[in-house]
Amino acid sequence: MASIRTSAARVADLERRLAEAEAARTAAEARLVEVEEARARLERLLAQMRRDTFGSKSEKLDPDQRNLPFEDVEAAAGMLAAASEAAEKALGTRKAPSRPSERNKGHLPEHLPRIERVIEPDSILCPCGCGEMQRVGETRTERLDVIPAQFRVLVTIRPKYVCRTCAGAQHAQAPAPEWLVSRGLPTEALVAHSVVGKFGDYLPFYRQADIYRRQGIELDRTMLAEWSGRAAQLLAPVIDAMMAELRRSDRLQMDETTAPVLAPGTGAVRKDWLWVVLRDQRGWGGGDPPIVVFHHSQSRGGKVAQEILKGFAGGTLLVDGHGGYDLLADPKKTAKPWTLAFCWTHWRRRFVKFSQDTPSPICDEMIARIAQLYAIEKEIRGRDPAARVAVRQKFSRPIVEALRPWLEGCLQDLSSSNELSTHIRYGLKRWDGMTRFLEDGRLEMDTNGVENAIRPIPLTRKNALFAGSTDGAKTWARIASLIGTCRLNGVNPEAYIAATLRKILDQHMQSDIAELMPWNFRG
């Protein structure tokens, strides 16, 4: 009996040890899963950091970037073609085309001046001795030529007149015109050229100074910067009027981007922000002209957005998921709360980035379903709001309604620490705002409009590195507002800024400020 009890005790002890070992193994496996998920997250973060630093900044490859590798190949092909033509011409084997090529005829803009050069044959006498041949037609070939940027000096002469009878007591002379820089060097056209060069064509002032120096003109970068500041100050009432026009709108887009600014007295660069407010009704055929206004701030907090939108009537604001905008929708903290609609592109981008590092059927399916929504949006762009809502209700709503339960089911199969769960919850948490476009034909699905308006800012930031001061950042915001609004309205910003500066200097009436708006410019 004693041996049986001893054996039973040993069996129980072995079973206990086996259970403990199994529990330890299960715990170790759980820890291993957590470690593997953490490792995968770190690898994705590292890959994302590398891609953000060295790779494309968009999930969609820019066509210009896609064609970069082929430019050298095309250049080499051009060299080979030229060498082949030269060899054929030397050997006399090159065949003349059966009919003259007219591929350029009618393709060049009509407003360009045409300089005609007529090439007559050496002789128009008939070889048979019949006399002069009669002209029966001609062959016209158009080629595109360029005249390098040419500077000129405008000399203003104001004659003086005196009365000889009165011994010079009476005299007359036209008053001096008002200039942007009193007794200064630049015309309004030169200042506009420099300003658009930096804030529209991403050429910092020091690069412009180098370009001017090639033509023997010494213009210091600090001088160019001062001129731009003066121009921005004069144009401030125009930007204020554009903002006042925006206050009438109840469907807007808003976003923000970084603006590095040199902190005074420290030598360090401070990260400030440029906030952007956009009105663009072209997607649904609205009659109000598109406007974009930039606003400089040292903060990204919601109170800045409140201050920018102070005096607005309220309505629907299309934004990304930045938490600062939540303050605008809180009736306890905002006098006229906004209804927030959220951007589908920002949500889609999360799945695109995740799938770049970790293949995921969930990401592939999510991206495909969002693509279906965008295909519908493409078909209804430009149609009136009622038609857009009707199409969305019929085709987009079933896709959206099926999306939520599917995503909730996916969450049940994923651990709470999985990064993909975070991306799914991002949209589910904002579901009402994500689906608001289904009920309103005046809303877009995304903030791509305001992001496109922002796009020149990072390019300028990349080339100019930072603004030299807070005032410089404010100048940046003002000029960016004018250039961006000109582009939205198909207006040449350089011609507009030059003409508007001249009108303001000529004492244009403040009551007629509407005439100076970019969409009213006829250059």
Whether 296 maps to a domain, the answer reads: yes
Max avg pLDDT among 27-31, 66-70, 191-195:
191-195
**Widest CA span in the chain:** 152
Whole-Å CA distances, 288 to 12, 246, 281: 84, 10, 7
What pLDDT shows up at residue 498?
92
Whole-Å CA distances, 198 to 202, 207, 331: 5, 9, 42
Q: Residue 166 burial by CB count (10 A; 0-12/13-18/19+): exposed, middle or buried? A: exposed
CA atoms within 13 A on the CB side of 103: 1
What pLDDT shows up at residue 65?
45
Whether 375 maps to a domain, the answer reads: no
Q: Average of pLDDT values for 259-266?
A: 70
Whether 60 maps to a domain, the answer reads: no
- Counting the structural domains of the chain, the total is 1
Q: Average of pLDDT values for 26-49?
A: 67
User: Does residue 147 surpass a pLDDT of 60?
Assistant: yes
Whether 506 maps to a domain, the answer reads: yes
Mean pLDDT of the chain: 82
User: Does residue 107 surpass a pLDDT of 80?
Assistant: no
pLDDT digits (tens, 9 = 90+) for 334-361: 888 899 999 999 999 999 988 887 888 9
Whether 306 maps to a domain, the answer reads: yes
Whether 457 maps to a domain, the answer reads: yes
User: Does residue 81 surpass a pLDDT of 70?
Assistant: no
Q: What is the CATH number of the domain that holds 486?
A: 3.30.420
Whether 190 maps to a domain, the answer reads: no
Whether 323 maps to a domain, the answer reads: yes
The answer, as to whether pTM is greater than 0.85, is: no
Confidence of residue 66 (pLDDT cuts 50, 70, 90): very low
- Find the range with the poorest average confidence among 304-308, 441-445, 494-498: 304-308
Q: Between 19 and 462, whose confidence is greater?
A: 19
Distance from C-alpha of 247 to C-alpha of 312, rounded to nearest angstrom: 5
Whole-Å CA distances, 161 to 166, 168, 172, 175, 207: 12, 9, 5, 13, 46
Domain extent for 239: 232-343+447-512
- Secondary structure (DSSP) of 161-185: EE-TTTTTSSEEEPPPPP-SSTT-S
